[in-house]
Each structure stands twice: as C-alpha cells, then as structure tokens.
Structure 1
Amino acid sequence: MVDQKAQLVDAGIRILERDGLAALSARKLAAETGSSTMAVYTHFGGMTGVIDAIAQTAFARFTEALTEVPRTDDPVADFIVIGIRYREFALAHPQRYQMMFGTSAESLNRHHADVTTTGTASSRGEFAMSFGALRDVVARMIEAGRIRDDGVPVVAGRLWSIAHGAVLLEMAGFFGHADHGLTQILAPAIFDTLVGMGDERERIERSVQAALASAGLG
C-alpha cells in the first residue's frame, strides 16, 4: 500500500526545488500526487504541517551529509570536511537550504533557538542535529588546543555564520561558477579565522590536505 503521507512529503520536496517555497500549496500538492487537498489536511493539518515534515526530511539528509565521513584524530580536518559537505548540500539543494536556514519559512521560525544561550539551533531535536555536528567538532578542536575556548556554541555560531554567508552569496551568483566561492572566499575566510583563534598555519595546511583526501578531493 502506498504511504500517502510520504508521497505528499516527496511531492512537496519536488515542488520546493522546482518552483520555490512560495509555490507550495495544498492544491499543488494534490495535483502533484493525484490526490485531493483534503489529504493534506488529513495527514498534516494544513500547509504548516507539510512544511515541517519537509524540513524534517531535509534536516535528516543534511545531517547525514555532515556526519557520514568517519571521525579522525584531526578535528580541524574533520571540521573542514563538514564545511565541504555543508557547501555541497546547499548548492545541490538551494531551495531546501533556504527553507531550512532562511527567514521566509514562518513555520520553522517558531522552532529557532538562540545558539549563544541555549547551545542549540532549534527547539526540535531533529532540526538541531546538524548544528550539533558542528558543535561537537568545535568542542574537539578546543579540547585539542587548536583554537581558543570562547565557548563552544559561540564559536560554532561564528563559524556557521561564515559558511552560511559565503554559501548564500555563492548561490546568488556573486562568486561565479568555478568553485571560486570555495577556493577564494570560504576556505581562506575559515583559514584566517582559525589562525586568529590560535591555530598555526602549518598545522592548518596539513589538516586541509587530510580533509581534501578524506572528502575525495585531494
């Protein structure tokens, strides 16, 4: 038996990526799945529930992308791999990324949390898992003495801000389409930030090489 609820979520993701968040509606979902608008309300209670369900799926896949590479004994290398996977996911799924971390999805805004005081990015555990992956590797960098301890959530928030800003600008086309967003903007910004927080350039270079090899880019 076909799971109609899962069908509607998959259809919502297709509409989101094809037409954008503003195009999501009960009528479009019904047309995409060959069902009725009533199915949306039966399974989700309305479009807010649909968007939450799409976000749950998106965050699960995003978290998987950030954590699928095995942990090594070099936390800076592991952090760089997470950054590479973060950018890859965002560029491959721009509409999903903007729904997750943009400002337009009001149904998600109600779950947002202040990372500087709570240590998490969301009041919903499944939404917060991706920030948890970043927070954990930041804690390891601090414990290893690679960067100074300004508080794990705060440092994670700073590094996330750099990645998020660079990725959004790259998605908008400001850095071209030849990986300049990574090689000339994001990577140097992260490199300089790590140096500013106490790491040594030579050690970071070694971590970069290890990360590129781990990510299959070396």
Structure 2
Amino acid sequence: MSAETTRGRLLEAALHLLAEGGPGALQARRLAAESGTSTMAVYTHFGGMRELVRELAQEGFVRLSRRLGQVPRTDDTVADLLALGLAYRDHALDNPSLYRLMFGVTTPDAVRYRGEQLDVVTLSSDLTKGQPAFAQLVDAVRRVIAAGRIRPADPGLIAMQFWSATHGYVLLEIAGFFDGAPGIEQALLPLATTLLVGLGDTAEAVERSAARLRAAR
C-alpha cells in the first residue's frame, strides 16, 4: 500500500470516527482499527495525533470549498449569494463535529494527545485551507456589486460580514439552540436580507431572489 493511500485511509477513518463519536473518538488505537493499519502508521504519516487532528480541520475547509463550488452560478447574483450561505449551512449540519473542529470549537477535554489537551489555538492555528472557500464568497459578493444590487464597496469586507453572520447562526443551530424555534425562513434569510438592504438592495428585490432560490431547491 502506497504512503498516499495509507494516509488517505487514515484521514477517512478519522473523519468517520469524528462523525460517529465526536472528538473523543479520535484515539490512535481506534483509528488504526478503523483504517486497518497500525498505530505506528499514524505517527509515520502524520507525526502524531496532534498533526492528524490539524489535518482533519484543514480537510474540513477543503470539503467546504468543494461544497461551495458545486453551487450553480446564475444570472441572479443575490440568489447565488444566498445559495452559498445555505450550502455553508448544509456542510456544517452534515458534519457538525468536523465543523466545530475546523474552527477550534470543541469541548475543553474532548481531544487529547498523549494526555495533553489540544486547545483552540492548536486546532485553528492554520486556516490557510479556508481561503479558497472564502474566495468564493468574495467572488459572489463582487458579482452582486457588479450587478448593481448593492453599493460599491470592498467585497472582501462584505464577504466577511456575511461569513460572520452565517457562522454565528450555524454554530447556534448545531449546538441545538434553535430546536423547535424559527430557522432558515425566520432567522437566517431575514438576517441576510437585513445585511443586503443595509448595503443598498431592497427587501422586495431580495425576496424575489430568495423565491427563485426556493424554487431551485
């Protein structure tokens, strides 16, 4: 088995353990059993569990970027921007433990490396893999500006506002704060509408774009 194949199997096994059992399931012995390798393979291909956990977080961003890249681009730029937000949410809901790991949000003692706690700084110290996902959001905002839907401004700063708003909503949702409470239609889309109207669009125009998105989904 090639080194690349073994590394890939270990990553997939770690993703499965994380999804099924949360960060506490990320143990070298369980990982070896799940992947059909040995505990030594973890250290050979990643240097240890610390590095493997960091690689998992980076893989989460790679998959997020891939998910956003699958969102169709249409002639309704605002609908496309909203669709990216929903795809972002879908990624988080499909992979809640991975999503928390991506941003260093996990229970204090959930992940340990030889008895040493992997803290937030350790898990979120390298977010370069998140740049392609963010770049897609920046491009979507740039298209909205070019279409005349919002006032000209720095697309990177606007994208940051949308990411921050969506991220906050998603973290609350996967934490269970919205169980039995209003969701996308009563919270997330109105939040996006408020941002877009503040940036120069109209509530009526945003609602038409949202209606197109609903029909497409």
Number of aligned residues: 202
* Cα displacement string for residues 13-63 of structure 1 (whole angstroms, at most 9, x for unaligned residues): 011112222432323212322332111011111123312332343222211
Q: In structure 2, what is the equivalent of residue 50 of structure 1?
A: 52
Q: In structure 2, what is the equivalent of residue 163 of structure 1?
A: 166
Q: Which moved more, 1:81-90 or 1:149-158?
A: 149-158
When normalised by structure 2's length, the TM-score is 0.84
Percentage of pairs with the same residue = 45
State the SS of the aligned residue for 1:53: helix
C-alpha change, 1:85 and 1:96, in structure 2 (3 Å) is same
Q: Which of 131, 134, 144 pairs up with 1:141?
A: 144
Q: 2 CA distance for matches of 1:177 and 1:61?
A: 29
Q: Is the 8 A contact 1:167 1:181 kept in 2?
A: no
Segments ≥4 residues shifted beyond 4 Å: none
Q: 1 CA distance for matches of 2:169 and 2:38?
A: 41
Unaligned runs of 5+ in 1: 112-121
Q: In structure 2, what is the equivalent of residue 191 of structure 1?
A: 193
C-alpha change, 1:108 and 1:142, in structure 2 (3 Å) is farther
Q: Which of 170, 176, 181 pairs up with 2:183?
A: 181
Q: Is the 8 A contact 1:147 1:199 kept in 2?
A: yes
State the SS of the aligned residue for 1:70: coil
State the SS of the aligned residue for 1:160: helix
Q: 2 CA distance for matches of 1:189 and 1:100?
A: 24
Q: 1 CA distance for matches of 2:17 and 2:10?
A: 10
* Cα displacement string for residues 147-204 of structure 1 (whole angstroms, at most 9, x for unaligned residues): 23442221111111111111111112121257x3211111111111111111012211
Q: In structure 2, what is the equivalent of residue 70 of structure 1?
A: 72
Unaligned runs of 5+ in 2: 107-119
